[in-house]
Copies of this chain bind each other. A is one copy, B any other.
């Protein structure tokens, strides 16, 4: 990790600190680089589950959306999500979720980003969702 990525990590941690929903989820930066970002959360059963006992799709969606937006932010500064599509691949059962975003195309005002969400269940990892997002630079919509 160099000064550049350390700066990006601090910036994301600063955004989490002023984002109540991300704080409520306990979001932590796992990795960040030019055009990529990873975050993770611990699963809190009393907050995050749905009625079959799996992690709620909205929490999986939060992970995917955040990973995509953060990956875009690593290249484009302040951003907002314009749209995303999320395919849920498997029930999310486990103690931890993590997600990765990778920028596929960085346009001047819009970035296309792929997201992937994984669950860790008793140490074993499984992909639970894939996403494709369009992220806009703030001021560009």
Contact = CB atoms under 8 A, between A and B. Distances in A.
Given A82-B87, A88-B83, A112-B89, A45 B57 contact: no
Contacts of A130: 104, 112, 114, 132
A87 B134 contact: yes
Interface in A65-89: 65-66, 80-89
Size bin of chain A's contact surface: 35 or more
A27 to B, nearest CB: 10
Number of copies: 4
Given A46-B20, A56-B19, A81 B88 contact: yes
Interface of A: 15, 18-22, 24, 45-52, 56-59, 61-62, 65-66, 80-90, 104-105, 107-110, 112, 114, 127, 130-132, 134, 136, 140-141
